[in-house]
């Protein structure tokens, strides 16, 4: 089991240390960790946020554990040298097109949700967001019209093969969960969404055990707040997924608890190659103080064991240790508590 560990900037360093302690504590035969620099740290050391040697480490590994990137001292650099380019570059270079974000409310944290406790309790969904297409990557530009005003455009495009591969990701994920998939689009006005819907229906034929439904994105946003318990797997494109996954994360409550996986087509002898990271960033405002909650990072490591190593037993063991710690009142600053990063790591380790 070769795992690339890219801790990155700010609290990325601090939370990754705790996740590594947890990985070393569970029984993983042949576990080998390879560290690499990414983000501002990498820029300062090597002149680039994603140095070639880091990319080589990722390519030679079975999975990447990624902390966070973001460094205020890099704000004035040209775009391609900014820390954020490290994660975008890794996704592109490693062909990671499927972003998985589970959202559940841990017992005892219902009051942290933006929703009523009984609604919060009902949340158990997984957002599967396409990562490599859509308006982010289509032709874009800005021009001056003959009338002298500026006009900007971003082309939204999806090909059948792009939709097909993310649809398979979604259905496979649904099969391992509650076997319900809601595909979110805007097929009443967008051609890309019409294609999306056609392809999703076609792929669904291969998953007769999964119940498929469709929802327009505006309605999906409303339903996530009104009745989030109706969702199991939510399959959507890059732009809609960006917005809906932030919405879902606020329904859950703390940013310090949310993990994510980015998967591609590459497989290893153990499973699907992937990159695992907390959804929070480098949090420059609290970096270096030892107060960041490492739970999102620890839960990202659990997702790694599940998806890249097929080790459901150890993934669940880690998740249970986190939820037991929360149930016992272990709280970081993000949850109104005062435990520091390593104390939270200790608390999780003690419950493994």
Q: State yes or no: residue 345 binds Mg ion (CB under 5 A).
A: no
Residue of this chain nearest to ligand ATP (CB atom): 281
68 belongs to the binding site for ligand ATP (CB under 6 A): yes
The single residue listed with the structure tokens 């019409």 is: 194
Judged by CB under 6 A, does residue 8 bind ligand ATP?
Answer: no
Measured CA to CA, the distance from residue 56 to residue 27 in angstroms comes to 27
Name the one range near Mg ion by CB under 5 A: 60-68, 141-149, 276-284, 300-308. 276-284
Q: Compare residues 39 and 281 and give the one whose CB is closer to Mg ion.
A: 281
> Under rule CB under 6 A, which residues in 15-54 are in contact with ligand ATP?
15
Contact pattern from residue 330 through residue 349 relative to ligand ATP, giving x for each residue in contact according to CB under 6 A and a dash for the rest: --xxx---------------
Distance CA 215, CA 338 (A): 41
Could you say whether residue 237 binds Mg ion (CB under 5 A)?
Answer: no
Strands 150-154 and 140-144: antiparallel
- Build a one-symbol-per-residue string for 261-280: x at contacts with ligand ATP by CB under 6 A, - elsewhere: -------------------x
From the list 128, 337, 75, 333, the residue with the least C-alpha distance to 238 is 128
Reported as type and span, the H/E element at residue 280 is none
Cα 185 vs. chain centroid, distance in angstroms? 20
Catalytic: 116? no
Q: Which stretch binds ligand ATP (CB under 6 A): 21-29, 44-52, 142-150, 291-299?
A: 291-299
Q: Quick one: how far is CA 99 from the chain centroid?
A: 6
40 binding Mg ion? (CB under 5 A):
no
Least distance to ligand ATP, CB of residue 306, Å: 21
281 near Mg ion, rule: CB under 5 A: yes
What is d(CA 207, CA 196) in angstroms, rounded to the nearest whole number? 17
Q: Which residues are annotated as a binding site for Mg(2+)?
A: 218, 242, 246
Note if 180 is an active site residue: no
> 263 has which bridge partners?
98, 274
Complex with ligand ATP: residue 287 or 315, whichever CB lies closer: 287
Q: Where is 104: in which H helix or E strand? A: strand 96-104
In contact, 277 and 300? CB cutoff 8 Å: yes
Count Cβ atoms within 10 A of the Cβ of residue 110 and give its class: 0-12 exposed, 13-18 middle, 19 or more buried: middle
- The site for ligand ATP (CB under 6 A) is made up of 11, 15, 68, 70, 255-256, 280-283, 285-286, 292-293, 296, 332-334
Give catalytic residue positions: 136, 186, 218, 242, 246
């Amino acid at each position: 089991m070769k795992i690339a560990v890219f801790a990155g900037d700010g609290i990325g360093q601090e939370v990754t240390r705790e996740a590594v302690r947890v990985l070393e504590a569970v029984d993983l035969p042949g576990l080998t960790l390879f560290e690499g620099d990414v983000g501002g740290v990498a820029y300062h050391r090597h002149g680039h946020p994603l140095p070639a040697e880091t990319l080589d480490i990722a390519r030679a590994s079975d999975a990447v554990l990624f902390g966070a990137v973001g460094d205020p001292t890099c704000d004035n650099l040209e775009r391609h040298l900014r820390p954020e380019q490290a994660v975008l570059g890794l996704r592109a270079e490693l062909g990671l097109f499927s972003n998985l974000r589970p959202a559940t409310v841990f017992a005892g944290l219902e009051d942290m949700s933006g929703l009523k406790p009984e609604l919060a309790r009902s949340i158990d969904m997984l957002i599967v967001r396409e990562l490599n297409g859509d308006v982010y990557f289509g032709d874009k530009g800005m021009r001056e019209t003959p009338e002298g005003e500026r006009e900007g455009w971003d082309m939204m495009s999806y090909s059948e093969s792009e939709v097909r591969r993310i649809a398979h990701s979604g259905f496979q994920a649904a099969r391992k969960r509650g076997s319900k998939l809601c595909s979110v689009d805007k097929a009443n006005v967008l051609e890309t969404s019409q294609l999306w819907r056609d392809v999703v229906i076609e792929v669904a034929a291969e998953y007769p055990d999964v119940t498929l439904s469709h929802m327009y994105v505006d309605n999906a946003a409303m339903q996530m707040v009104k009745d989030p318990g109706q969702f199991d797997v939510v399959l959507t494109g890059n732009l809609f997924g960006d917005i809906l996954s932030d919405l879902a994360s606020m329904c859950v409550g703390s940013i310090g608890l949310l993990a994510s996986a980015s998967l591609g087509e590459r497989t290893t002898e153990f499973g699907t190659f992937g990159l695992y990271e907390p959804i929070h960033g480098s949090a420059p405002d609290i970096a270096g103080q030892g107060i960041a909650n490492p739970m999102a990072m620890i839960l990202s490591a659990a997702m790694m064991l599940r998806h890249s190593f097929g080790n459901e037993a150890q993934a669940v063991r880690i998740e249970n240790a986190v939820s037991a710690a929360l149930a016992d009142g272990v709280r970081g600053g993000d949850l109104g508590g005062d435990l520091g990063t390593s104390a939270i790591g200790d608390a999780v380790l003690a419950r493994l």
